[in-house]
Amino acid sequence: MNRAFTSVTAAALVAGPITPQHVDPALVDYFQQQLEGHYRADMFLGPHDLIGTVSAQYQLIDKLVRSAKGETRRGLLRAGAAYAALVGWLYQDAGDMDGAAFWRGVTQEIAMRSRDPHLIGYSLVNQAQVRTDLGDGRAVVDLCEAALEDAGRLDPKVRIMAMQQQAHGASLTGERRTVDQLLDLADQLLPQVDDDLPWGNACRRTPGYLEVQRATCYGRLGLGTEAGSLWAQVLAEVPETARRDRGVYMARQATAAAAAREPDHAVEIAPTVATIAVETRSARMRRELATLERAMRPWHDAPVGRDLAEILAPLTEGS
């Protein structure tokens, strides 16, 4: 096993047995409250500064689960699934797909152990997110259909997450009509999301959540004008403090502008994105900028193309 993989898995693969200890039920609330803070910090900081912190807390939860009993143990298992999902997301945002896939697997294991059908569905959506980034649309659809197999039992927010992720799978296979149908159905469920659980609340926490998904899918389908219009609406709602999300959205907006044959507009947007990408070290943002570069190839030798190359040069130098 190589050193990099060992470091990715270390927090999840701690060998036992351990010395039994008393586990106070109040620790379940403690970890749930901490989780909300981690979500906020992720928006501000990006992945690299949080991976160690969240992984260490998952490791502590795993240790406590081995001693806890009854409802306290079940509560810690549920918290552990949410923490593992966040670690998986952080690795995915950092561009480490092997690490992301490993932690998504940990999420699914601990969700199954919790016997919570909502978390099990959530874990399948997490797996689908990795497959989306790998461009495997059919696998995305398979996983989301599995999550929705008994949709009547699922919390509305899990159904929304599964439907929006399935829409991404449909966009990867070129099915615009299916994209719109799934996102329209998800939109009808949004008013029903009212639980207080700390995990899986992106649909409430993210301004314009479903519009973000639709704009992303439209961009993937090459619908530049439609995607650009949606991104303008979304970015009007996203706070400046959510720098990483704003950077990703603006990169996609710039790509949509290029697809709509508005290269000057694309290059106007790019400097802000490049600055945020350097600050947050988000591989996802760098990937979006690479997509923008490809979309701008028709203007490679034009002044606007040279301007873009100059703007993105610091990213190439820092990689």
- Tell which of 115, 147, 165 closes a domain: 115
- Asked if residues 56 and 11 have their Cβ atoms less than 8 Å apart, the reply is yes
| 131 found inside a domain | no
Q: Write the DSSP assignment of 245-286 as a string of letters.
A: HHHHHHHHHHHHHHHTT-HHHHHHHHHHHHHHHHHH--HHHH
| The model's pTM | 0.90
Range 203-214 burial, b when 16+ CB lie within 10 A, else e: beebebbbbbbb
| 51 found inside a domain | yes
Nearest-angstrom CA–CA distance, 121 and 128: 11
pLDDT, position 1? 43
| 150 found inside a domain | no
Nearest-angstrom CA–CA distance, 160 and 126: 13
| 213 found inside a domain | no
- Tell which of 57, 82, 115 closes a domain: 115
pLDDT, position 13? 75
In this structure, how many other beta carbons lie within 10 angstroms of the beta carbon of residue 6? 10
Nearest to 38 by CA among 178, 230, 201: 201
User: Could you give the number of structural domains in the chain?
Assistant: 2
| 94 found inside a domain | yes
| 315 found inside a domain | yes
pLDDT, position 260? 96
pLDDT, position 5? 53
| 211 found inside a domain | no
Supply the range of the domain harboring residue 248: 239-319
**Tokens for 310?**
């100059």
Helices 243-259 and 263-280: angle between axes, nearest 10 degrees = 150
Nearest-angstrom CA–CA distance, 139 and 169: 8
Instruction: Per-residue pLDDT tens, the chain, 319 aa: give them.
Output: 455 555 887 777 777 778 889 999 999 999 998 988 888 887 777 788 889 899 999 999 999 999 999 999 999 999 999 999 999 999 998 889 999 999 999 999 999 999 999 999 999 999 999 999 999 999 999 999 999 998 888 899 999 999 999 999 999 999 999 999 999 999 999 988 876 667 777 777 787 899 999 999 999 999 999 999 999 999 999 888 888 889 999 999 999 999 999 999 999 999 999 999 888 888 888 999 999 999 999 999 999 999 999 999 988 764 5
| 167 found inside a domain | no
pLDDT, position 214? 97
- Tell which of 115, 148, 174 closes a domain: 115
Nearest-angstrom CA–CA distance, 232 and 179: 20
